[in-house]
Amino acid sequence: MMDHPLAPGGTSAIEPGPWHYGADYVTVYFRGDPSKLELLVPKPFTVEGGDCMAYVCEIVSVSESGADMAALRPDRTLYQEAAVGVKCSFDGRPGIFFPVMWVSTEWSLLRGLVNGYQKRLADRISLTKLHPLNPGLKPPGPGTKYGGFCVKGAEETLSVSVELEREGTPKDLASYGATYGFRLFPRTHESQGSVSEAVEIIKSNSRASDVWLGRGSVRTTLEVGELSGAAGAVYRSGFTISGSKVLAGT
């Protein structure tokens, strides 16, 4: 078992990567107000047009060396996440930056922070789960409704809903390019070093399946301006994160 901030023996509480992920997503694509979004996305990234995404998902994650954790410590492999992402670019290269990601476990919070994600600990995250053997639930199809939400304190910080209309393919899912982040660890004493660096998350092995498309809606306490053009998608996704690399010139 690993603890925060250090495990017994003084080793890091975060298992070394690469880290592998499989996730079930309820996602809404929408457009926000670029003037509002610019306040959420740090330099050197540039907001592009106002396109955004918001999602609530459930993730199963294991490290390269810890696949047996799925059986030995399932609580260290399963968590929920809710996030808002903004389309942006760095030096003309398109990508997406997530001003906030709420997560349900401390270990996923720590892993995200060291890699450059803007993670916060939520009090509760939940999303629709359909089971094929549940007599009271029908399989996904046109008209099926999915929802997900995140609560922090007294606020519902994010809520998404999707009503399915048709089956899709992975090619129907929005693609933003690179995934950008920002590692910020200020010093609290003159004897300390500090970290302030824009990064790109190193992702590979990306794949998706079980794609359904439909109408979407989203509510968030994040200041994104007036929302428009909401479309929804429900799907499964898998990918690997190997860390993050500092962007040249930053």
Q: Over the stretch 153-176, which tens digit does the pLDDT of each residue have? A: 999 999 999 999 999 999 999 999
Is 8 within a domain? no
Mean pLDDT of 4-31: 81
Is 61 within a domain? yes
Is 187 within a domain? yes
Q: Residue 98, exposed/middle/buried by CB under 10 A (0-12, 13-18, 19+)?
A: buried
Mean pLDDT of 103-118: 95
Res. 8 pLDDT band, cuts 50 70 90? low
Is 11 within a domain? no
Residue 3 has pLDDT above 50, yes or no: no
Is 221 within a domain? yes
Average pLDDT, the chain: 94
Residue 86 has pLDDT above 90, yes or no: yes
Is 199 within a domain? yes
Is 123 within a domain? yes
The total number of structural domains in the chain stands at 1
Residue 177 has pLDDT above 90, yes or no: yes
pLDDT computed for residue 13 by the predictor: 60
Residue 43 has pLDDT above 60, yes or no: yes
Alpha helical stretches, state H, the chain: 34-37, 69-72, 106-115
pLDDT computed for residue 15 by the predictor: 82
Token pair of 210, please? Answer: 């079980």
Give the structural domain span for 62. 20-242
Residue 12 has pLDDT above 70, yes or no: no
Residue 150 has pLDDT above 60, yes or no: yes
pLDDT digits (tens, 9 = 90+) for 186-206: 999 999 999 999 999 999 999
Alpha carbon distance 74, 67 (integer Å): 10
- In Å, how far are 144, 163, 171 from 109, measured between CA atoms? 32, 30, 30
pLDDT computed for residue 118 by the predictor: 98
Res. 2 pLDDT band, cuts 50 70 90? very low
Is 196 within a domain? yes
Could you tell me which residues come within 8 angstroms of residue 39 by beta carbon, excluding any fewer than 6 positions away? 223
Mean pLDDT of 50-55: 98
Mean pLDDT of 146-152: 98
Res. 7 pLDDT band, cuts 50 70 90? low
pLDDT computed for residue 5 by the predictor: 56
Mean pLDDT of 81-96: 98
Residue 1 has pLDDT above 50, yes or no: no
The CATH code of the domain that includes 130 is 2.40.400.10
